Amino acid sequence: MGRIRWWALPCAALVLAGAAPVAVAEQVRDGRSQPVFAAEPVRETVWVETGLDGDGDGVIDRVAADIARPAGTDQPVPVIMDASPYYSCCGRGNENEFKTYDDQGRPLGFPLFYDNYFVPRGYATVLVDLAGTNRSEGCVDVGGPSDITSAKAVIDWLNGRATGFDAATGGNPVGAGWSTGDVGMIGKSYDGTIANGVAATGVEGLRTIVPIGAISSWYDYYRSDGVSFGFDPVGLAQNVEEGGRPDCHQVKQELVAGAPTNGDATPLWTERDYVPTADRVTASVFAVHGLGDLNVKTVQFGPWWDALAAKDVPRKLWLSQTGHVDPFDFRRAEWVDTLHRWFDRWLLGIDNGITEEPAASIERAPDTWADEPGWSGEQAQATTLHPREDGLGTEPAPGGTASFTDDPSLDEYDWAARPDQQSPARTLFSTAPLSGDLRLAGTGSVTVTAVPSTPTAHLSAMLVDYGPATTRDYLGQGEGIRTLQTESCWGESRPGDDACYKDTEATTTDVDFEIIARGWADLANHESLSAERPLEPGKRYAMTFRLATTDHVVPAGHQLALIIGGTDSAFIVAPRQPGQIGLDLAQTSVTLPVVGGLPAVTSARVDAAANKPPQVRPDRVPARPEVQLNRD
């Protein structure tokens, strides 16, 4: 028999410990679940079998699921789950909270506000230690079968399809009769990535996911179209395992072998790409991503969203100007309210109208948001602009070439800071000041026909909005927010589990340009990302590579520029033999995702008084990132 949904039982009663029965109608009032479960929650740990033996000890691995659920009711409740590798190594949230336990080893402190806020409203909160982390057995494999299965197994247990125990080894079987089996997964970064990966299995019982700054392809986290970002998954695995587990040596060796430093795509990366199986997703999706996120870059969001849209998965989207920041810390009150109604709709079945509200919300200026019925990036028109000797325009170049010499000591900020000056290390093509606003929303690409002077060549490309603006300071230490000393509380505080968090505010900066999309590639992978080919100096090679997903309005009067260079030292590793690269302009272009049409675009001639190249004041150059990129 399937799980009973309590909202389908209008005559049932919800019983509080030590209190009179509470009618269902009292728990749901004004279209929202109410905090009627005032008793101390039941807090327990269940160890769930994953069906895997990642550490090779001959025993099926068990993962620890720490649970907080309403006490005093015999009606089953749905689950909000955050499956994470960070509960003991690194902490969660802006204040780096860790799990804590009492003297008997029972869970006490739950990071983040989910248990404080939602358990009194009739939800259980389940925080899962991914395999190989904290109190779970097994090994971390960075988005692979072990990671995904260890979270999916808990959903299976909640639905009666897997076995749980009251101890890490041995112990007695434990069921989840208190649960409806309906699960919503949520989490930022690695946690949200696991939500994406589990949803892509199509597991029954997962009703919604809320991925925040999440990965959809681990290849795109560590590599980009054949180039390496200079770090590898084994380092992250060892970090979350708090130094690495000796019995997981074989798994680490497989990570090293499967992730070659040359940037080639391999079966290891294919296994960790959730986009191709997005057609299995049955859960609704509420995605959040920072357009300034240079850790989990926006290329993670765009293809995943496109795949969900192709299947018409119920979905909602927030795009902020921040970097790698949780919406609890950049739009707190609105976030808690929206998340509350989202979970009420998909886990409690409350018809509260949230699916009829604007589905997309985009931050256009610090703390200024624009709503639209659906994300316009889904209707963007692919529009091609062409680099020319006189700038960037709609007409292909009649001919001509450009060239640059790869200088691995420079980066994109060096290239963009002096657009009115020639540079041997990059080429820059700019429009004249735009006659109207230009909105780019979606994932673009660059096509080059390049001639290398050495057997190895790396390429970097970026779109730059030149013109004065005030933006969130997403390159600064807080990635667009500042933590204050005041606090606000969200839910019930209990001994050892505080519901109060420091407030935040937006940090802003005045700039004369903003890099709005980036992409990198190894020209040796022009035929295939799975195998590079040595380049023949002097030979022409054609290659198309992606730019990161964006949603940006270039205002009228600003200028849009395309920069193409070699090694962007802020992100990628230099080739073995950096050299000069020539571009055939007639066979080079940029494809933009344009919403609402392209305003009149003319090239900016360096020698034309009416169309001067962009100008940048030295005091209004964006700072290089102060944050450590690719930290989780």
pLDDT greater than 50 at residue 143: yes
* 452 and 328 in a common domain: no
Q: Which domain holds residue 259?
A: 6-377
Domain contains 279: yes
* 254 and 133 in a common domain: yes
| CA–CA gap between residue 410 and residue 348 (Å, rounded) | 53
User: CA 51, 54, 59, 64 torsion: positive or negative?
Assistant: negative
Across 200-205, average pLDDT = 98
* 390 and 324 in a common domain: no
Tokens representing residue 501 in the block: 């968090």
Domain contains 482: no
Give residue-wise pLDDT tens across range 448-491.
999 999 999 999 999 999 999 999 999 999 999 999 999 999 99
Least confident of 60-69, 358-367, 471-480, 603-612: 603-612
Domain contains 365: yes
Q: Is 154 exposed, middle or buried (0-12, 13-18, 19+ CB in 10 A)?
A: buried
Q: What is the CATH number of the domain that holds 263?
A: 3.40.50.1820
Concatenated DSSP letters for 172-202? -EE--TTEEEEEEEEEETHHHHHHHHHHTTT
Give residue-wise pLDDT tens across range 33-78.
999 998 899 999 999 999 999 999 999 999 999 999 999 888 999 9
Domain contains 497: no
Domain contains 198: yes
Domain contains 179: yes
Confidence (pLDDT) at 627: 63
Please tell me whether residue 339 adopts helix, strand or coil conformation.
helix
Domain contains 345: yes
Q: Which of 377, 396, 419 is the last residue of a domain?
A: 377
Tokens representing residue 52 in the block: 């895997």
Q: How far apart are the first and last CA of the chain?
A: 41
Q: How remote is the C-alpha of 184 from its chain's centroid?
A: 17
Asked if residue 345 lies in contact with residue 337, where contact means CB atoms within 8 angstroms, the answer is no
> Quick one: residue 201, left, alpha or beta (phi over 0 = left, psi -120 to 50 = alpha)?
alpha
Asked if residue 114 lies in contact with residue 80, where contact means CB atoms within 8 angstroms, the answer is yes
Asked if residue 151 lies in contact with residue 370, where contact means CB atoms within 8 angstroms, the answer is no
* 585 and 518 in a common domain: yes
* 461 and 575 in a common domain: yes
Short-list 129, 260, 194, CA closest to 522:
260
Asked if residue 197 lies in contact with residue 92, where contact means CB atoms within 8 angstroms, the answer is no
Give residue-wise pLDDT tens across range 391-420.
999 999 999 999 999 999 999 999 999 999
CB atoms within 10 A of CB 437: 13
Short-list 521, 514, 520, CA closest to 551:
514
* 403 and 366 in a common domain: no
pLDDT greater than 90 at residue 9: no
Determine what percent of the chain is predicted with pLDDT higher than 70: 94
| CA–CA gap between residue 44 and residue 39 (Å, rounded) | 15
| CA–CA gap between residue 165 and residue 62 (Å, rounded) | 9
| Helical segments of 500-586, H only | none
Question: For residue 624, what is the DSSP state?
Answer: P
CA angle 632, 338, 371 (to 5 degrees): 95
Q: Which of 361, 377, 393 is the last residue of a domain?
A: 377
Q: Which helix (H) or strand (E) holds 590?
A: strand 589-595
Short-list 504, 101, 198, CA closest to 326:
504
Question: For residue 616, what is the DSSP state?
Answer: -
> What are the distances in angstroms from CA 157 to CA 67, 149, 172, 490, 561?
13, 12, 14, 29, 53
pLDDT greater than 70 at residue 130: yes
Q: Which of 355, 377, 399 is the last residue of a domain?
A: 377
pLDDT greater than 80 at residue 104: yes
pLDDT greater than 50 at residue 603: yes
Short-list 116, 30, 70, 40, CA closest to 344:
30
* 385 and 424 in a common domain: yes
Give residue-wise pLDDT tens across range 245-261.
889 999 999 999 999 99
Give residue-wise pLDDT tens across range 210-268.
999 999 999 999 999 999 999 999 999 999 998 888 899 999 999 999 999 999 999 99
Question: For residue 603, what is the DSSP state?
Answer: B
* 308 and 207 in a common domain: yes
* 341 and 389 in a common domain: no
The residues annotated with a catalytic role in the active site are: 189, 293, 324
Asked if residue 77 lies in contact with residue 178, where contact means CB atoms within 8 angstroms, the answer is yes
Asked if residue 385 lies in contact with residue 590, where contact means CB atoms within 8 angstroms, the answer is yes
Tokens representing residue 523 in the block: 């020209």
- Residue given tokens 């200028």 in the structure block: 559
Confidence (pLDDT) at 37: 93
Which pLDDT band, with edges at 50, 70 and 90, does 602 fall under?
confident
Confidence (pLDDT) at 278: 98
CB atoms within 10 A of CB 8: 9
Asked if residue 271 lies in contact with residue 298, where contact means CB atoms within 8 angstroms, the answer is no
Confidence (pLDDT) at 618: 85
| CA–CA gap between residue 75 and residue 233 (Å, rounded) | 43
Q: What is the CATH number of the domain that holds 612?
A: 2.60.120.260
| CA–CA gap between residue 523 and residue 580 (Å, rounded) | 13
pLDDT greater than 90 at residue 2: no
pLDDT greater than 90 at residue 13: no
Give residue-wise pLDDT tens across range 569-585.
999 999 999 999 999 99
Domain contains 551: yes
Confidence (pLDDT) at 499: 97
* 385 and 341 in a common domain: no
pLDDT greater than 50 at residue 329: yes
Give how many domains the chain has, as a whole number. 2
* 132 and 26 in a common domain: yes
* 457 and 356 in a common domain: no
- Residue given tokens 């919604």 in the structure block: 208
